[in-house]
Structure 1
Amino acid sequence: MKKKLLATWLFLITAVQVMSWPLISGTSQPLKVGDVVFVHAPAGLTLRKTNSRDGAKVALVSYAAALTILAIPDSSAPYKAESIDSFAVSGGWVKVKTRDGLEGYLFDGYLLRYPPVLKEPQDGVDLIDWAYRTLSPPKGKRITLPQIEGSMERYKQVFVDGASFELQAYPGGSTQILDISKSKLTMQDALIFFRPVWFLKGKTTATYDSVKQRLEVNGEDGTSQFTIQSKGTRLLLRFATAD
């Protein structure tokens, strides 16, 4: 199944001085000064003069914009931008430089090294399969799987980094399953990367089960659902839609 994706642009920013920093936000690997990161907040992020939510506004940095890290956040002052029961999208105020040369601070919880998915899927490639190719290339051709009750199509695609994708297509909808390593994405990373892919800018509601370590996101129209569940060293992501 394909969905229309957001249309915008990607920019490359040259790197600067390298320095490591403690992991304080939902990124699977610590960011460093000089890293190029991308905005994954569909509404964009506000660039501010100071490292505070109350800092004077410099500009609105749009979805998919590329930024260069200039200074790491203060790990003693974490910020929660979004709470879903006991789960939170958290991080710090990182100093960045935009492609236009503007400098300032913005919340790093919606930043990733991986660019957002901006192009339509190729013919015959399902949405989440296509989206994960931004993170890792496929390994070999997809494998046709035996059909299960009610299914019209079922296949598996393995990726170079060890992730795997499975499609289960039915007359009234589909389920797309992605199995990835936590060393690739944290639960927060997976949420901010895939939520705009699946729902675009549509309104969603979400719940978190701390016992099952399961995050569930539902579309406003009730026909689409996205879940992330922790399974040991892996994350299992399920994307379901009903026509």
Structure 2
Amino acid sequence: MTAIEDFGGWLRDFEAQALRRAERGDPAWEAGARLDPAVVRSMQRFQVGEGSDGRILIAKAVDAADPDYTAAIRLFVAEEQNHARLLERLLAAAGEPTIAGHWSDAVFRRLRRSLGLRLELMVLMVAEVIALPYYGAIRDGIDDPLAAEVAARILADEERHVPFHCDRLRASFTDLTPATRAVAVAGWWAITAGATAVVLYDHGKALTSLGTTRRHFAGRVATHFHRATTHVRGPRPATSRRPAPAAGTIRRPDTGRAYAHM
């Protein structure tokens, strides 16, 4: 994988976010939470998916021989593990347990671990773009302040994770011919469609209770994924150009480049 992106900015961003989390502290768990049973089951399954130790991903990042990227990946994994902790504490606040595992997460992890870094990130990105409308639906549709706050915190992290992974994937896609890139993206869309169908089957009742239809959720996933693949396949902006971000965009750290808000 060709290292053409400067991940020093991302490393500083992850470090700054870790300090902000420490200063902010946890939500007020003592307030308790009241969750619809369908939302409880859904959160239990997402909590399992957020709890990976990331050993294999980190090892692949080490093999890529980019110290800044490897350090950023370690902090990314720590953020994902914090998401699992937040969901665990939220479930506990509602008087609900976590679960040991779920078949969909087991399949997803087995697929990721059998691949190289580029393909693992492509599969990981599928989970990231699905997480965006999922946590957005909880934040905006749930009738519980504590759950809404937890979802908002996780969503803010996921909105940074997508462009972070896009930067690395764009660097790796420069090694591919146009035809290979087209085939890779077509397969990527197929995986995303399949994963979305699984989520709609497993979490449809929860989404309905949050006021989100299956059609709307699938459409949001497609929109997020289209933006991500456009970013990955697009030309690498000149590092000397620092355009001001348009309305509704997120500025990627220290690069001066903007990424469409997910």
TM-score interval for Structure 1 and Structure 2 normalised by the shorter chain: under 0.3
Q: Which has the higher contact order (CA 8 A, sep 6+)?
A: 2
Q: Which has the higher helix share?
A: 2
Q: TM-score, normalised by structure 1?
A: 0.27
Q: Give the strand-richer structure, 1 or 2.
A: 1
State the TM-score, normalizing by the size of structure 2: 0.26
